[in-house]
Amino acid sequence: MWSSRPEGEPQRLLALVDGVFAIAITLLVLDLSVARDLDPAAYRAALRELLPDLGAYALSVVVLGSYWRDHRRIFRDVREIDGQVISLSMLGLGVAALVPFPTRLLAEYGDQPVSVAVYAGAVAALGASHLAVAAVLARRPRLRHDRPSETARTLYLLDGATTVVVFLVTVPLVFVTGPRIMWGWLVLVPLRVHLGRRLQARG
């Protein structure tokens, strides 16, 4: 039903994606700022008040770093891209470039459930765009150098889908449980390590 002609090598798309991730990571730091002309005590207090901002910065570096690594893995064997891959990648870029905004909300209004919901929604959208690109590439073998095994693909999709689901269920739940639900995201660490190892063993 959807036809799609290959449109050449992925190099420039990868350069654009790497650029956007590099800038999104670096822009996060613009929100770390201290007013000018404070007295020494107020200055040290202002620095202490930046600790949640630093936490939000670290979280977003981890999130963006993981998704960049994810993107690198998806495109590792890609030889050519077509119009749909470009469009879906642009969608993903638009979301990745957006991450500094919910990060700022989390840093400044982390006690408000809506901040956590917006953040989780953005991360879920980023994950979903990567899953969509991976799914399109999986169905077009001629765009790839080689073909990953069925098991590797299933594990990869399971890994990606789990992350999306974890962040997605946070969106409504945070209004019930309050912002502490964020700590639940840590469940992804052992889960991804476990899937990552199985992926390495099979892939």
Which residues form the interface with a copy of itself (CB under 8 A)? 3, 5, 7-8, 12-16, 18-30, 32-34, 36, 38, 40, 43-44, 47, 57-58, 61-62, 65, 68-69, 72-73, 76, 83, 86, 90, 93-94, 97-98, 100-101, 104-105, 108-109, 112, 114, 118, 196, 200
Q: In terms of CB distance, is 76 or 165 closer to a copy of itself?
A: 76
Q: In terms of CB distance, is 15 or 135 closer to a copy of itself?
A: 15
* Cβ atoms of 93 and 145 closer than 8 Å: no
- Distance between CA 75 and CA 2 in Å, rounded? 21
CB of 103 to a copy of itself, least distance (A): 10
CB of 203 to a copy of itself, least distance (A): 8
End-to-end CA gap in the chain: 31
Instruction: For residue 52, give both structure tokens.
Output: 């949640």
Instruction: For residue 192, give both structure tokens.
Output: 């991804």
Q: In terms of CB distance, is 24 or 124 closer to a copy of itself?
A: 24
CB of 97 to a copy of itself, least distance (A): 4
Q: In terms of CB distance, is 47 or 165 closer to a copy of itself?
A: 47
Q: What is the DSSP letter of 33?
A: -
CB of 83 to a copy of itself, least distance (A): 7
What 3-state class would DSSP assign to 79?
coil
CB of 90 to a copy of itself, least distance (A): 4
Which phi and psi angles does 6 have, rounded to 5°? -55, 140
CB of 107 to a copy of itself, least distance (A): 10
- Distance between CA 138 and CA 135 in Å, rounded? 5
Q: In terms of CB distance, is 49 or 165 closer to a copy of itself?
A: 49
* Cβ atoms of 174 and 108 closer than 8 Å: no
Q: In terms of CB distance, is 109 or 171 closer to a copy of itself?
A: 109
Q: How many CB atoms lie within 10 A of CB 141?
A: 10
The CA–CA distances, whole Å, from 68 to 17, 59, 141 equal 8, 14, 23
